[in-house]
Amino acid sequence: MTIATDMCTNDASHHQDVPTTSDCLGTAAIAQFYSFAERCIDWARTTRSLQERAVYLQMGLQWLAAGARLQTFLQLKKSKDAKLAFEMEGKHP
């Protein structure tokens, strides 16, 4: 079980900084993407065919890029959500 999964399964809904289900799923997806990339790069290291090596490296780079894009998206979303929550606090006494 990963840290993200552990955090999601603990019943801590009364804590303010508890990750949402969306956060947990996003974190798990990012970890999975990076795991896929690592596998592709490992395959590239072990194959003897230059053509296969190029394909595996390209696949690995695509998984890395997908993980990075999702990570950036979630960080921007979290930042936007935090800004919105802060603005809402200021409007309500």
In the chain, where the domains are located: 21-91
Helix 21-46, helix 50-91: angle, nearest 10: 160
CA angle at 75 for the pair 69 and 80, rounded to the nearest 5°:
125
Position 66 scores a pLDDT of 97
Position 91 scores a pLDDT of 65
Non-local CB neighbours of 84 within 8 Å, separated by 6+ positions: none
Position 12 scores a pLDDT of 46
- Rg of the chain in Å (alpha carbons): 19
* Ranges under pLDDT 70 in the chain: 1-17, 91-93
Put simply, whether the predicted model's pTM sits higher than 0.85 gets the answer no
Alpha carbon dihedral 43, 49, 52, 54, in 10-degree steps, equals 90
Position 1 scores a pLDDT of 37
